[in-house]
Amino acid sequence: MDDEILKLLREHSSSFLSGEEMSHTLKVSRTAVWKRVKNLRASGYDIEAFRRLGYRLIRSPDLLTPSEIKPLLKTKWMGKVLHHFQTIPSTNTEAYQLALRGAPEGEIVIAESQEKGRGRLGRHWVSPPFLNLYLSVILRPDIPPPQASLITLMAAVAVAEGIECFSGLHPVIKWPNDILLKNRKVAGLLNEIHSETDRIHFVILGVGVNLNMDKKLFTKEIRSTATSLKMETGKTVSRKEFVPCLLEALEKWYTLFLREGGKPVLEAWRERARIRGKAVKVTSFGETLFGRAIDVDSEGRLILETEKGERKRIVAGDVEYSRK
Ligand code: BTN
């Protein structure tokens, strides 16, 4: 009912809406309306109430609930169903379970905080409440499993573009899918695939964006390598206004990828990553390699020329730019 009350209040934002009218439209008692208004106030909504005039919505909080995000969202299908949680172990785990139960492409899980936020390669993702974005999208691409890593590159391009549209800053990508601002990580992607040998059942695209984190909130290990939009712009950013920018970019790039294949994605990825020719240190499955990055191949693997002159294709790992 919260959604319906907010919708009514928004439709009458320039005037008051009487308790009687609300109870009539929502088919509940006036006491029930008053209780919901009290709850909404407790969640941060500023709602004026006068005995003779009724209710008026003055200000909404920066929450990632469907009722806050949906009025701002201009996507065609992505995020039309949005599962919102105050807290959850991990949005990826929840989305995975939903997808196993048949949830369609485009459904989204979003949380105000995560208790066990997961990063790539088994790492932890710092996920304190009401500061950042923790979101997972269910995708069901009809592509062969080896192409699934292109979804990762596609998502990196989309997240970078979403950040750019929203902030005017110019994020770059570090292989495979770290999003950096001034060399510090502002966002990361965790893609999980459920497939059989020749068919993908679904992909869970997990996106974490540091929006309003302050430096001291990052763990010591990542404090010097992580950043947030607030740290870069000096201003608190609106999380609910960021989500539409991100989802619109994701929908656009995913649609393009399905229609035209990996070519435009790889072009945009290369443009943002500018990895060709860079001296790199690559850590992959416990092995450290130094060399020069040649490119990414059509399946998103990093082509590396090692110091010994060997060519290697790296499927997963971490890259650091080295001065060698
Ligand atoms: C990385 O290590 O760079 C990937 C981080 C991905 C974090 C996001 S937050 C939303 C989703 N849920 C998770 O548990 N992880 C991803």
Q: What is the pLDDT of residues 228-250, one digit of tens each?
A: 999 999 999 999 999 999 999 99
Q: Measured from the CA of 123, which atom of ligand 1 is nearest?
A: 2
**Residue environment code for 166-190, b if the CB has 16+ CB neighbours within 10 A, otherwise e:** bbeeebbbbbbbbbbbeebbbbbbb
The alpha carbon of 125 and the centre of ligand 1 are apart by a number of angstroms equal to 6
**Cα separation, 99 vs 157, whole angstroms:** 24
**Cα separation, 321 vs 280, whole angstroms:** 4
**Cα separation, 163 vs 155, whole angstroms:** 12
Q: Which residue has the tokens 């130094």?
A: 290
Contacts (Cβ under 8 Å, ≥6 apart) of 43: 61, 63
Q: Measured from the CA of 120, which atom of ligand 1 is nearest?
A: 2
Q: Please work out whether the CB of residue 174 comes within 6 Å of at least one atom of ligand 1.
A: no
* Helix (H) or strand (E) segment spanning residue 161: helix 148-167
**Residue environment code for 92-120, b if the CB has 16+ CB neighbours within 10 A, otherwise e:** bbbbbebbeeebeebbbbbbbbbeebbbb
- Residue with CA at minimum distance from ligand 1 atom 2: 119
Q: Measured from the CA of 135, which atom of ligand 1 is nearest?
A: 10
Under a CB-based contact definition with an 8 Å cutoff, are residues 155 and 191 in contact?
Answer: yes
Q: Please work out whether the CB of residue 184 comes within 6 Å of at least one atom of ligand 1.
A: no
**Measured CA distances, 154 to 250, 272, 299, 308 (Å):** 8, 12, 11, 32
**Cα separation, 40 vs 34, whole angstroms:** 10
34 confidence band (pLDDT: 50, 70, 90): very high
Tokens of 62: 């920066």
- Residue with CA at minimum distance from ligand 1 atom 11: 206
Q: Please work out whether the CB of residue 190 comes within 6 Å of at least one atom of ligand 1.
A: yes
The alpha carbon of 207 and the centre of ligand 1 are apart by a number of angstroms equal to 5
The alpha carbon of 120 and the centre of ligand 1 are apart by a number of angstroms equal to 7
Assign residue 313 a region (left: φ > 0; alpha: ψ between -120 and 50; beta: otherwise): beta
324 confidence band (pLDDT: 50, 70, 90): low
Q: Measured from the CA of 118, which atom of ligand 1 is nearest?
A: 14
Q: Please work out whether the CB of residue 125 comes within 6 Å of at least one atom of ligand 1.
A: yes
Nearest to 94 by CA among 1, 195, 192: 192
Q: Please work out whether the CB of residue 120 comes within 6 Å of at least one atom of ligand 1.
A: yes
Instruction: Give the length of the chain.
Output: 324
Q: What is the pLDDT of residues 263-290, one digit of tens each?
A: 999 999 999 998 888 999 999 888 899 9
Instruction: Using a pLDDT cut of 70, give the percent of the chain over it.
Output: 99
The alpha carbon of 196 and the centre of ligand 1 are apart by a number of angstroms equal to 24
DSSP, collapsed to helix, strand or coil, labels residue 96 as helix
Q: What is the pLDDT of residues 53-75, one digit of tens each?
A: 999 999 999 999 999 999 999 99
Nearest to 109 by CA among 159, 69, 161, 160: 69
Tell me what pLDDT residue 323 has. 63
Under a CB-based contact definition with an 8 Å cutoff, are residues 108 and 82 in contact?
Answer: yes
Q: Please work out whether the CB of residue 118 comes within 6 Å of at least one atom of ligand 1.
A: yes
The alpha carbon of 190 and the centre of ligand 1 are apart by a number of angstroms equal to 5
